[in-house]
Amino acid sequence: MDQPADAEQTVRFFQLVAPARAPQRADRSAAGTIPHRAAQYCDAITVAAAFGWYVFPPMDFRVLWDGRDLFWTYHGVDDWLALGAAQFPDFAASFDAHAPDELKGYAPPFLTALPEPGLLQIWSGVMARTRPGWSLLVRPPANLPRSGGFDMYEGIIESDRWFGPLFINLRLTRTHVPVDINGEWPLFQVQPIPQHAYAEATLGASAIVSGLESFSPRDWQDYDRTVVRPEGKSAHQIGHYAAATRRRRKQAS
């Protein structure tokens, strides 16, 4: 199996559809939407927002669900098109012009109406490889406001061995109302995770401590250090967690 040319690359994105917007690093401000106070003092929010890469739809388009069938349209098309599986405009010809003979005709679809009512699969026009032992969590953009009219399913792709279209599945939540998908706004976010993080051995190694009577002296000391003492400090100490976390991160690097 081909691996990334640079062993230090966590992920390599393959941008196949032009002129779509390429994936980009997610940022701590969630594209400028996080409130200023949270951006300044809440490291938990900003780190989560910046974890991974934004992936964009390859074009602006609209979808419509009438409760039974899906339809779509885009700039230059004056009517709604019934949606089963649709290729990105002109991509199939480009794919066939570059693909080996035995793979011609197998261009991945851009949009696919799934068998379940109101479910739509959207290909970003991107494929990805990760370094061995790493996967990609595909999820809604972290801390970004979401468009109305649909929910997203999350998924984990073992992209160190599975080399295919990077897509997301949507569940449309309203009927007879067009839903706009903006090619300049992140459609989803991908986050690198080591495969041992979701292995059964890792997830099974957990415990539940019941009741305050089960707190150890260390638990009480940590609660005092984390919650009680900071609350008693003057207002200028706001954001102590963010400051301490940044210092620790800087020392570690």
Provide the greatest CA pair distance for the chain: 71
Q: Do 157 and 226 have their domain in common?
A: no
Q: Do 190 and 225 have their domain in common?
A: no
Portion of the chain with pLDDT greater than 70, in percent: 89
Range of the domain at 244: 207-252
Q: Do 92 and 51 have their domain in common?
A: yes
pLDDT bracket for residue 237 (50, 70, 90): low
Q: Look at residue 235 in the predicted model and tell me its pLDDT.
A: 44
Q: Do 218 and 165 have their domain in common?
A: no
Q: Look at residue 4 in the predicted model and tell me its pLDDT.
A: 47
Query: In the listed set 162, 177, 202, which residue is the last one of a domain according to the structure?
Result: 202
pLDDT in tens, 140-197: 999 998 878 999 999 999 999 999 999 999 999 999 999 999 999 999 999 999 999 9
Q: Is residue 127 part of a domain?
A: yes
Q: Do 83 and 108 have their domain in common?
A: yes
Query: In the listed set 202, 218, 240, which residue is the last one of a domain according to the structure?
Result: 202
Q: Is residue 237 part of a domain?
A: yes
Q: Which of 76-85, 225-234, 240-249 has the lowest mean pLDDT?
A: 240-249
Mean of the per-residue pLDDT values of the chain: 91
Domain count, the chain: 2
Q: Is residue 43 part of a domain?
A: yes
Q: Is residue 45 part of a domain?
A: yes
46, pLDDT greater than 50: yes
Q: Look at residue 146 in the predicted model and tell me its pLDDT.
A: 82
Query: In the listed set 172, 187, 202, which residue is the last one of a domain according to the structure?
Result: 202
